Amino acid sequence: MVELKLFVEEVKEFVRADPLLIARPGETDLLWCFNEPSVLDKFVATSDSDHNEGYSTCSFDMSPAGRARFHGCLDVRVPKDGRIKKAGYCAVRSKRARKSFKRKTTYDWHLYNTLVLKVRGDGRSYLLNISCEGYYDITWNDIYHYVLYTRGGPYWQIAKIPFSKFILGSKGRIQDKQNRMRFDRVTHFGITCADKINGPFNLEIEYIGLEFDPTHDEEFAYEMYKTDKYIVGV
Protein backbone atom coordinates (compact mmCIF):
# COMPACT_ATOMS: atom_id res chain seq x y z
CA MET A 1 0.00 0.00 0.00
CA VAL A 2 2.79 2.34 0.91
CA GLU A 3 4.47 1.58 -2.40
CA LEU A 4 1.30 2.43 -4.31
CA LYS A 5 1.09 5.78 -2.57
CA LEU A 6 4.72 6.47 -3.44
CA PHE A 7 4.03 5.50 -7.03
CA VAL A 8 1.06 7.85 -7.19
CA GLU A 9 3.26 10.65 -5.84
CA GLU A 10 5.84 9.93 -8.51
CA VAL A 11 3.28 10.03 -11.29
CA LYS A 12 1.97 13.33 -9.98
CA GLU A 13 5.50 14.69 -9.89
CA PHE A 14 6.07 13.53 -13.45
CA VAL A 15 2.87 15.13 -14.69
CA ARG A 16 3.59 18.36 -12.90
CA ALA A 17 6.99 18.51 -14.68
CA ASP A 18 8.42 21.19 -12.41
CA PRO A 19 12.09 20.37 -11.89
CA LEU A 20 14.45 22.51 -9.89
CA LEU A 21 16.26 24.35 -12.66
CA ILE A 22 18.89 26.33 -10.84
CA ALA A 23 20.29 26.16 -7.37
CA ARG A 24 20.40 29.54 -5.74
CA PRO A 25 23.95 30.50 -4.82
CA GLY A 26 24.73 30.86 -1.16
CA GLU A 27 21.83 28.66 -0.09
CA THR A 28 22.47 25.19 1.15
CA ASP A 29 19.93 22.57 0.16
CA LEU A 30 19.97 19.98 2.89
CA LEU A 31 20.20 16.36 1.98
CA TRP A 32 20.00 14.90 5.44
CA CYS A 33 19.22 16.99 8.48
CA PHE A 34 19.77 14.97 11.61
CA ASN A 35 17.06 16.28 13.86
CA GLU A 36 15.04 13.13 14.43
CA PRO A 37 16.11 9.53 14.85
CA SER A 38 14.18 8.49 11.75
CA VAL A 39 16.87 10.00 9.52
CA LEU A 40 19.44 7.65 11.06
CA ASP A 41 17.72 4.69 9.42
CA LYS A 42 18.94 5.87 6.08
CA PHE A 43 22.53 5.09 7.09
CA VAL A 44 24.39 1.88 7.80
CA ALA A 45 27.41 1.76 10.07
CA THR A 46 30.08 -0.87 9.40
CA SER A 47 33.46 -1.56 10.84
CA ASP A 48 36.19 -4.06 10.18
CA SER A 49 35.08 -6.25 13.06
CA ASP A 50 31.90 -6.94 11.12
CA HIS A 51 33.99 -8.57 8.42
CA ASN A 52 36.30 -10.33 10.90
CA GLU A 53 39.15 -8.18 9.74
CA GLY A 54 39.89 -6.27 12.91
CA TYR A 55 38.72 -5.20 16.29
CA SER A 56 37.28 -1.72 15.83
CA THR A 57 33.75 -0.94 16.90
CA CYS A 58 31.47 1.85 15.87
CA SER A 59 27.89 3.01 16.06
CA PHE A 60 25.76 5.74 14.57
CA ASP A 61 23.09 7.12 16.87
CA MET A 62 21.53 10.26 18.27
CA SER A 63 23.64 12.26 20.66
CA PRO A 64 22.09 13.84 23.76
CA ALA A 65 22.43 17.19 22.03
CA GLY A 66 19.94 16.07 19.36
CA ARG A 67 22.36 15.51 16.51
CA ALA A 68 23.68 12.41 14.77
CA ARG A 69 26.81 11.01 16.35
CA PHE A 70 29.20 8.61 14.67
CA HIS A 71 31.44 7.26 17.39
CA GLY A 72 33.37 4.20 18.31
CA CYS A 73 36.85 2.96 18.93
CA LEU A 74 39.39 2.41 16.18
CA ASP A 75 41.78 -0.46 16.73
CA VAL A 76 44.86 -0.82 14.58
CA ARG A 77 45.72 -4.32 15.78
CA VAL A 78 45.89 -6.72 12.88
CA PRO A 79 44.08 -10.01 13.50
CA LYS A 80 46.39 -12.97 13.20
CA ASP A 81 44.97 -14.97 10.37
CA GLY A 82 47.72 -14.70 7.82
CA ARG A 83 46.00 -12.80 5.07
CA ILE A 84 45.31 -9.36 6.52
CA LYS A 85 48.14 -6.86 6.56
CA LYS A 86 46.51 -3.68 7.83
CA ALA A 87 43.41 -3.14 9.88
CA GLY A 88 41.33 -0.47 11.44
CA TYR A 89 38.44 1.23 9.67
CA CYS A 90 34.91 2.23 10.52
CA ALA A 91 32.42 3.66 8.08
CA VAL A 92 28.90 4.93 7.84
CA ARG A 93 27.23 4.93 4.46
CA SER A 94 23.85 5.99 3.18
CA LYS A 95 21.49 3.38 1.86
CA ARG A 96 20.68 3.34 -1.81
CA ALA A 97 17.78 5.64 -2.64
CA ARG A 98 14.73 3.78 -3.77
CA LYS A 99 11.67 4.79 -5.68
CA SER A 100 8.29 3.16 -5.33
CA PHE A 101 8.20 -0.62 -5.41
CA LYS A 102 11.79 -0.70 -4.12
CA ARG A 103 13.31 0.29 -7.42
CA LYS A 104 16.84 1.59 -7.11
CA THR A 105 17.44 5.14 -8.09
CA THR A 106 20.22 7.68 -7.99
CA TYR A 107 20.58 11.13 -6.51
CA ASP A 108 20.78 13.94 -8.99
CA TRP A 109 23.19 16.64 -7.94
CA HIS A 110 24.01 18.27 -11.26
CA LEU A 111 22.84 21.67 -10.08
CA TYR A 112 25.37 21.86 -7.29
CA ASN A 113 29.10 22.01 -7.05
CA THR A 114 29.88 21.99 -3.33
CA LEU A 115 29.22 19.60 -0.51
CA VAL A 116 28.51 21.24 2.85
CA LEU A 117 28.78 19.49 6.19
CA LYS A 118 28.22 20.93 9.64
CA VAL A 119 30.15 18.74 12.01
CA ARG A 120 31.76 18.76 15.41
CA GLY A 121 34.70 16.45 15.51
CA ASP A 122 37.57 15.56 17.76
CA GLY A 123 40.51 16.69 15.67
CA ARG A 124 40.82 13.51 13.62
CA SER A 125 40.59 13.47 9.88
CA TYR A 126 37.74 11.58 8.27
CA LEU A 127 37.30 10.50 4.69
CA LEU A 128 34.24 11.48 2.73
CA ASN A 129 33.23 8.97 0.09
CA ILE A 130 30.83 9.54 -2.73
CA SER A 131 30.04 6.48 -4.76
CA CYS A 132 28.69 6.73 -8.28
CA GLU A 133 28.03 3.16 -9.29
CA GLY A 134 27.31 2.91 -12.95
CA TYR A 135 25.83 0.15 -15.00
CA TYR A 136 29.02 -1.80 -15.74
CA ASP A 137 30.55 -3.86 -13.00
CA ILE A 138 34.02 -2.36 -13.42
CA THR A 139 32.73 0.89 -12.06
CA TRP A 140 30.80 -0.62 -9.15
CA ASN A 141 33.67 -0.01 -6.75
CA ASP A 142 34.50 3.50 -7.89
CA ILE A 143 34.40 5.85 -4.95
CA TYR A 144 35.44 9.48 -4.90
CA HIS A 145 37.29 10.38 -1.72
CA TYR A 146 38.29 13.52 0.09
CA VAL A 147 39.53 14.25 3.58
CA LEU A 148 37.47 16.09 6.15
CA TYR A 149 39.72 17.72 8.73
CA THR A 150 37.94 18.44 12.00
CA ARG A 151 38.99 21.11 14.40
CA GLY A 152 38.04 19.37 17.59
CA GLY A 153 36.57 21.26 20.48
CA PRO A 154 33.01 22.21 21.27
CA TYR A 155 32.55 24.58 18.35
CA TRP A 156 30.70 23.45 15.24
CA GLN A 157 32.48 23.79 11.94
CA ILE A 158 30.98 24.08 8.51
CA ALA A 159 33.11 22.32 5.91
CA LYS A 160 32.49 23.19 2.29
CA ILE A 161 34.18 20.88 -0.16
CA PRO A 162 33.77 21.40 -3.89
CA PHE A 163 33.13 18.31 -5.97
CA SER A 164 36.08 19.10 -8.20
CA LYS A 165 38.48 18.12 -5.43
CA PHE A 166 37.31 14.56 -5.00
CA ILE A 167 39.80 11.86 -5.93
CA LEU A 168 38.80 8.72 -7.77
CA GLY A 169 39.68 5.43 -6.18
CA SER A 170 38.53 1.92 -6.87
CA LYS A 171 38.24 -0.42 -3.88
CA GLY A 172 40.40 2.00 -1.94
CA ARG A 173 43.29 2.25 -4.40
CA ILE A 174 43.82 5.70 -5.92
CA GLN A 175 43.59 5.42 -9.67
CA ASP A 176 46.11 6.91 -12.02
CA LYS A 177 43.68 8.20 -14.58
CA GLN A 178 41.53 10.68 -12.72
CA ASN A 179 38.39 12.26 -13.98
CA ARG A 180 35.56 14.37 -12.68
CA MET A 181 32.70 12.93 -10.73
CA ARG A 182 29.40 12.45 -12.51
CA PHE A 183 27.00 14.51 -10.51
CA ASP A 184 23.79 13.23 -11.90
CA ARG A 185 24.11 9.60 -10.92
CA VAL A 186 25.27 9.56 -7.32
CA THR A 187 24.33 6.44 -5.43
CA HIS A 188 25.89 6.57 -2.00
CA PHE A 189 27.50 8.99 0.38
CA GLY A 190 29.61 7.86 3.30
CA ILE A 191 32.04 8.93 5.99
CA THR A 192 34.96 6.75 7.07
CA CYS A 193 37.36 6.89 9.96
CA ALA A 194 40.60 5.15 9.01
CA ASP A 195 43.46 7.39 10.05
CA LYS A 196 45.66 4.71 11.65
CA ILE A 197 45.40 6.26 15.10
CA ASN A 198 44.46 3.92 17.89
CA GLY A 199 41.73 5.26 20.07
CA PRO A 200 38.13 6.40 20.36
CA PHE A 201 36.65 8.73 17.78
CA ASN A 202 33.58 10.87 17.84
CA LEU A 203 31.99 12.87 15.06
CA GLU A 204 28.72 14.74 15.51
CA ILE A 205 26.92 15.76 12.35
CA GLU A 206 24.16 18.31 12.19
CA TYR A 207 23.43 18.35 8.52
CA ILE A 208 24.79 17.28 5.18
CA GLY A 209 23.82 19.53 2.32
CA LEU A 210 24.68 20.75 -1.15
CA GLU A 211 25.37 24.20 -2.38
CA PHE A 212 26.03 25.94 -5.61
CA ASP A 213 29.03 28.21 -5.40
CA PRO A 214 29.17 30.46 -8.48
CA THR A 215 32.65 31.69 -7.66
CA HIS A 216 34.10 28.21 -7.88
CA ASP A 217 34.78 27.57 -11.53
CA GLU A 218 37.36 24.83 -11.26
CA GLU A 219 36.32 21.83 -13.29
CA PHE A 220 38.68 19.33 -11.75
CA ALA A 221 41.65 19.75 -9.47
CA TYR A 222 43.95 17.03 -10.76
CA GLU A 223 45.74 16.56 -14.04
CA MET A 224 43.95 14.64 -16.75
CA TYR A 225 46.46 14.82 -19.61
CA LYS A 226 47.47 11.78 -21.61
CA THR A 227 50.52 9.92 -20.37
CA ASP A 228 52.77 7.10 -21.62
CA LYS A 229 50.94 3.97 -22.55
CA TYR A 230 51.93 1.07 -20.35
CA ILE A 231 53.03 2.99 -17.34
CA VAL A 232 49.90 4.70 -16.16
CA GLY A 233 46.66 2.92 -15.61
CA VAL A 234 48.01 -0.61 -15.79
Partner 1 sequence: MEDNGVMPDSEMEQMLLNIFGRRGIPLRKFWRMMYWMPKFKNLSPWYLPDQLPNDTLDLAKLAIQRITSVDPDTKISVWQTEEIEASLDKTWIVSAQSRAQQVLLMEQPPDDPLTVKGPFIVYLKDQVVTYFLLLGKIRPEYKDDRDIDDVSNIKKPPGIPGFIGNTTLPTVKSTVHEQDDGTIVSVCATGTSSRDSLLSWIRLLEQYGNPVLADIPVIFTLSAPPTDITVQETQPAIHDSEKEIKSC
Measuring CA to CA, how many Å separate 180 from each of 7, 69, 153, 233?
33, 31, 34, 16
- Interface residue with partner 1 among 155, 215, 219, 226 (CB under 8 A) is 155
Binding partner 1 (rule: CB under 8 A), the pick from 96, 151, 180, 216 is 151
Using CB under 8 A as the binding rule, the residues of this chain from 7 to 46 that contact partner 1 are none
Listed in sequence order, the residues at least 6 apart from 206 whose beta carbon sits closer than 8 Å to its beta carbon are 33, 34, 67, 68, 118, 119, 120, 156
- List 25, 37, 66, 214, residue binding partner 1 (CB under 8 A): 66
Give the number of other Cβ atoms within 10 Å of residue 95's Cβ: 11
Three-class HEC string of 154-205: CCCEEEEEEHHHCEEEECCEECCCCCCCCHHHECEEEEEECCCCCEEEEEEE
Which of 3, 61, 176, 184 contacts partner 1 by CB under 8 A? Answer: 176
With respect to partner 1, which residue has the nearer C-beta, 19 or 64? 64
Binding partner 1 (rule: CB under 8 A), the pick from 199, 214, 218, 224 is 199
Is 154 a binding residue for partner 1 by CB under 8 A? The answer is: yes
Q: Does 172 bind partner 1 (CB under 8 A)?
A: no
Q: How far is the CB of 29 from partner 1 (least distance, A)?
A: 21
Q: Say how many residues touch partner 1, by CB under 8 A.
A: 28
For the chain, strand residue ranges (E) read 28-33, 43-47, 57-62, 68-74, 90-94, 114-120, 125-131, 142-149, 157-162, 167-170, 173-174, 188-193, 199-211
Q: Judged by CB under 8 A, does residue 124 bind partner 1?
A: yes
Q: How far is the CB of 83 from partner 1 (least distance, A)?
A: 18
Instruction: Tell me the closest approach of the beta carbon of residue 133 to partner 1, in angstroms.
Output: 24
Identify any residues that bridge with 234 across adjacent strands, giving them in sequence order.
Answer: none
Q: Which of 25, 123, 172, 214 binds partner 1 (CB under 8 A)?
A: 123
Q: Note the residues at the interface with partner 1 (CB under 8 A).
A: 65-66, 86, 122-125, 147, 149, 151-157, 174, 176, 196-200, 222, 230-232, 234
